[in-house]
Amino acid sequence: MKKKAISILMAGIIAASLAACGSGGAASSTAKEDAGATAKEAVAEEGGEGKVLNIQCWNDEFARRMSDHMPGYVAADKADATKGGKLGDIEVRFAVTPSTDNAYQNNLDALLPENADAAADEKVDIFLVEADYALKYVNTPVALPVSDLGITEEELANQYQYTKSIVTDEEGNLKGLSWQGCPGVLIYNRDIAKEVLGSDDPDEVQKAVADWDTFKQTADKLKEKGYKMTSTTNDTYRVFSNNVSTPWVVDGKINVDENIKKWVDMSKEMVDANQTGTADLWSEDWSKGFAKDADVFCYFGPAWLINFSMGAVDDGVNEDDGSRTFAGGWGATVGPQSFYWGGTWICAAAGTDNPTAVADIMRQMTTNEEVLKDIVKVDNDFVNNKPAMEAAATDDSFAFKPLGGQNPLGMFCEGADKIDLSNLSEYDQGCNESFQLAMKEYFEGNASYDDALQAFYKSVTEKYPELSY
């Protein structure tokens, strides 16, 4: 895209942003509509779309979904989807920057503001975001409203509302779409359930984890038999943090919700009683509980944790990795509280020279019901289509092999309807990570609670200097 087209595109986006801040009603809407037309107009003026479509991501999940399910897409290497491929005449490239130490966000922060001036083949066309920091990009001009791509509200009518709310900016513009929903469940070891609880039936196991007091009592029973309730204190964290009554930041001040403090108190008791550990999520010690013969009773997570993180699935292609997942030895039940964890949203980058291709990817991967059903069957994912999921919840062909043939989709559907994002903030990822790291010192006896809390405040204010406590 040449400089003139770039100027048209960015001027429209900036005009819409300024109009939204300075006026309301018809004037603001008109400005947004004018900006919305510029993405395709600018490309049309140059006689066609770009030859390269660049996608920024932090792992290979979306690349694999594209490789396996995107109509018309041909992957260059099925064994390594991040090597890209072809979508018609367009070359698709994936740039993977891990999330560790905020590296992925730092990369986006460097690329996106200058994207309109980047060389044609280097422009970011799509970037992916997670729930914990989505608002950081949604509330700025670096992400295009999906309406700018011609995607209508009617096309998205079957998507879960929370997946749209999470990427809607302050002016009501939807700026991202997801193929998945991420309500969570309690994932339990069936063999341990039979031994300690007398049954691995989900309804019976639910009685033993119905609330946090009962959960703790069950942890006592498990300890007597030599088992841990969870692998680490962090396994329960998301359930508590998703059920807070106030956000992490209120009027620029860091706020520790009472429900977060309840997590601290329960976790300290369980660590001291040797009912759980203190390993970091994604560490080798944390994942030891995935093994078929492990001594960990349960994990908390959405469908992607089961199929993407907890071991290979016995699908006739993967080799037996010794995991309980491969053995089909997990079960799922609701647990003490509904919660969600994660999710990946597809955002169109302002400055893209491939708006038509970007819109096609968004439509196919998030609204094409056949594609979405295939994702459920092949990947055991929970997808972002309410009617499809409600129908699949009563269809035995959608049973999850890692769950021993159990179909958990009814639980996921129920959980998705209960997700409340009213306390979400753009600071969630930084606050959540810092809080868990600081409290680890308290759990391990290396610091008092007050000292750990001060360390948390220090870490967060270093990340976000505009905040106070």
**φ/ψ (deg, to 5) at 95:** -110, 115
Residue of 359, 360, 367, 365 lying closest to 387 (CA atoms): 367
Which residues does 234 contact at the CB level (< 8 Å), separation at least 6? 279, 280, 281, 286, 436
Q: Are 57 and 346 in contact (CB under 8 A)?
A: no
Q: Are 183 and 408 in contact (CB under 8 A)?
A: no
pLDDT of 425 higher than 60: yes
Angle at 261 between CA 257 and CA 264, to 5 degrees: 145
3-state SS of 3-31?
A: HHHHHHHHHHHHHHHHHHHHCCHHHHHHH
pLDDT interval class at 315 (50, 70, 90):
confident
Q: What is the pLDDT of residues 54-85, one digit of tens each?
A: 999 999 999 999 999 999 999 999 999 999 99
pLDDT of 24 higher than 60: no
- Percent of the chain, pLDDT > 70? 90
Angle between the N-to-C axes of helices 212-224 and 258-272, in degrees from 0 to 180, rounded to the nearest 10:
10
Beta bridge partners of residue 348, listed in sequence order: 126
The pLDDT value recorded for residue 330 is 98
As a whole number of angstroms, the distance between CA 139 and CA 141 comes to 7
Q: Residue 11 corresponds to which amino acid?
A: A
pLDDT interval class at 23 (50, 70, 90):
very low
Q: Are 125 and 353 in contact (CB under 8 A)?
A: yes
Residue of 82, 62, 85 lying closest to 72 (CA atoms): 85
Q: What is the pLDDT of residues 252-297, one digit of tens each?
A: 999 999 999 999 999 999 999 999 999 999 999 999 999 999 999 9
Q: Are 264 and 367 in contact (CB under 8 A)?
A: no
The pLDDT value recorded for residue 87 is 97
Measured in residues, the chain has a length of 469
pLDDT interval class at 434 (50, 70, 90):
very high
Question: Domains plus CATH for the chain?
Answer: 3-181+343-392 (3.40.190.10), 185-341+395-463 (3.40.190.10)
Q: What is the pLDDT of residues 448-466, one digit of tens each?
A: 999 999 999 999 999 999 9
pLDDT of 369 higher than 60: yes
**φ/ψ (deg, to 5) at 445:** 80, 15
DSSP notation for 394-408: T-GGG-BGGGTTB--
As a whole number of angstroms, the distance between CA 206 and CA 224 comes to 20
The pLDDT value recorded for residue 41 is 55
Asked which of 125-129, 195-199, 378-382, 434-438 is least confident by mean pLDDT, the reply is: 378-382
As a whole number of angstroms, the distance between CA 384 and CA 167 comes to 14
Q: What is the pLDDT of residues 123-157, one digit of tens each?
A: 999 999 998 899 999 999 999 999 999 999 999 99
Q: Which long-range contacts (CB under 8 A, 24 or more apart) does 280-285 make?
A: 280/232, 280/234, 280/437, 280/440, 281/232, 281/234, 281/235, 285/231, 285/232
Q: Which residue has the tokens 């422009």?
A: 123
Residue 16 tokens read as 């819409």
Radius of gyration of the chain (CA): 23
pLDDT interval class at 45 (50, 70, 90):
low
Which residues does 290 contact at the CB level (< 8 Å), separation at least 6? 310, 311, 323, 324, 325
